[in-house]
Amino acid sequence: MENSYFGEFGGCFVPELLMPPLLEVEAAMREILPTEDFQRKLHDLLHNYAGRETPLTYCPALSSELGFDLWLKREDLLHTGAHKINNTLGQALLAKYMGKTALVAETGAGQHGVATAAAAARLGMDCTVYMGAEDVERQAANVQRMRLLGAHVQAVESGTRTLKDAINEALRVWITCQATTHYCFGTAAGPHPFPTLVRIFQSVIGRETRTQMLERAGRLPHAVVACVGGGSNAIGMFHAFLEDKDVRLIGVEAAGTGESGCFNSAPLNLGTPGVLHGSYSMLLQTEDGQVEPSHSISAGLDYPGVGPEHAWLQKTGRVHYGLVKDANALAAFQRLCRCEGILPALESSHALAWVLDHPQEFTAGDQVVVNLSGRGDKDMDIVNKALGTPREALS
């Protein structure tokens, strides 16, 4: 196995029975992924199926209110509504080249499940999505979407009945079906080589943004901001800027409801190092090493772990990781709807909220890019519950 660590974080903490399929993925990354044939097919899928490249949108109203220039990278405009499709098309295509006929995936809110189901349908593969039973109940629309796209959705009843347990179950199932099946992991976490594989497929976000900023603003941004759950949209955005030392990189974790000791999804800020789902990274856990339940109003950030490369980027100081509470994310959600006519995902609303809540960090003329990783249509039930149904909508 090649170097599986980012500094002291990462690794491959899995049962021996999962080592052969992980080594197989590693070999495919080395031998298939760089080929012209693979790259051409992936490019075609991303551009002519998923809708790349995505726009970089300048926000005139918010920029004027804030006193600096705010830009949004519009991953929300991608097919299936979020950046997740960058990764699922890449992994599904790779799996196809590897001779696999089926995909398994985990999903929390359902976005990665929908994106995997779409990629599987497009490439003619079977697809089974594991989803915590509680998520199946609260994300019924996405369950329906996955089923329409031909995926089998399996409700996971064990543990906390959420994303963490869906990953456990998908790993267990992958042991049994590895000969025919690729595990299409949804975020830049998990055992090596997934943190690297997912980052490779998501890095298109940052590469495009960098080029677009140079064309549109004539310079690199002063700061780039992205929300961090597992961390795939953030690592995809940050990676192209890592060597640009003048570009501030800010990841935003979900602080939950915000009172002291509340459940949250902020292992980088509030956790300790530990092993979950195959990698050593920051983790919400007890002193005994039992994984603690997480919480966020945004289902896509609701995870007690985080990708190991983020733990390393935090440790080196290259990326600053901030915190945003549920209520502030909701406020940012509303403000973007009204000011710019864009309905962001609650995940991405966390990234935007950090900027709106920290105007003192920037000065006039600063160029700030927020990764708008997904659209908020999926969050209508949660938003309506939190804010009440908008009055106009009732008339």
Partner 1 sequence: MNILEQKIRAAVAQKRTALIPFLTAGFPDRSSFWPTCMELDENGADIIEIGIPFSDPVADGPVVEQASRQALSEGVNLRDTLDELRQRRGLFKAGIVLMGYANPFLQYGYTRLAQDAAAGGVHGLIVPDLPYEESGPLCEALHKADIVLIPLVGPNTDTARMRLYAKGEGYVYVVSVMGVTGARDRLPVQVVETMKRARSVFSQPLALGFGLRDPTQLAAIPVEARPDAVVFGSALLSHLGEGGTATEFMSRWR
Q: Name which position in 175, 262, 380, 387 contacts partner 1 (CB under 8 A).
A: 175
Question: Would you mind telling me the total number of residues written for the chain in this entry?
Answer: 395
Nearest to 265 by CA among 285, 294, 293: 294
Cα separation, 198 vs 91, whole angstroms? 8
Which region, left, alpha or beta, applies to residue 22 given φ > 0 means left and ψ of -120 to 50 means alpha? Answer: alpha
Cα separation, 255 vs 266, whole angstroms? 6
DSSP code per residue over 226-249: EE-SS-HHHHHHHGGGTT-TTSEE
Q: Which is nearer to partner 1, 290 or 395 (CB)?
A: 290
Q: Name which position in 7, 8, 15, 316 contacts partner 1 (CB under 8 A).
A: 15
DSSP 3-state of 103: strand
127 is catalytic: no
Q: Which is nearer to partner 1, 171 or 266 (CB)?
A: 171
Residue 289 touching partner 1 (CB under 8 A): yes
Question: What's the min distance (Å) between Cβ of 260 and partner 1?
Answer: 23
Question: What's the min distance (Å) between Cβ of 181 and partner 1?
Answer: 12
Residue 274 touching partner 1 (CB under 8 A): yes
Q: Name which position in 63, 88, 107, 178 contacts partner 1 (CB under 8 A).
A: 178
Half-sphere exposure of 111 (CA within 13 A, CB side): 31
Binding mask 291-330 for partner 1 (x = CB under 8 A): x---------------------------------------
**Stretch near partner 1 under the rule CB under 8 A, chosen from 30-38, 136-144, 166-174, 346-354:** 166-174
Nearest to 186 by CA among 98, 121, 127: 127
Nearest to 350 by CA among 295, 272, 296: 296
83 is catalytic: yes
Residue 285 touching partner 1 (CB under 8 A): yes
Q: Which is nearer to partner 1, 18 or 120 (CB)?
A: 18
Number of amino acids touching partner 1 (CB under 8 A): 34
Cα separation, 74 vs 54, whole angstroms? 6
Residue 276 touching partner 1 (CB under 8 A): yes
Who contacts 351 (Cβ-Cβ below 8 Å, separation ≥6)? 225, 226, 227, 252, 370, 371, 372, 373
Question: What's the min distance (Å) between Cβ of 9 and partner 1?
Answer: 13
Cα separation, 129 vs 113, whole angstroms? 6
Binding mask 27-66 for partner 1 (x = CB under 8 A): ----------------------------------------
DSSP 3-state of 173: helix
Residue 172 touching partner 1 (CB under 8 A): yes
DSSP 3-state of 126: strand
Q: Which residue is catalytic, options 12, 59, 127, 227?
A: 59
Q: Interface residues with partner 1 (CB under 8 A)?
A: 1, 4, 11-17, 19-20, 158-159, 164-165, 168, 171-172, 175-176, 178, 274-278, 280, 283, 285, 287-291
Active site residues: 59, 83
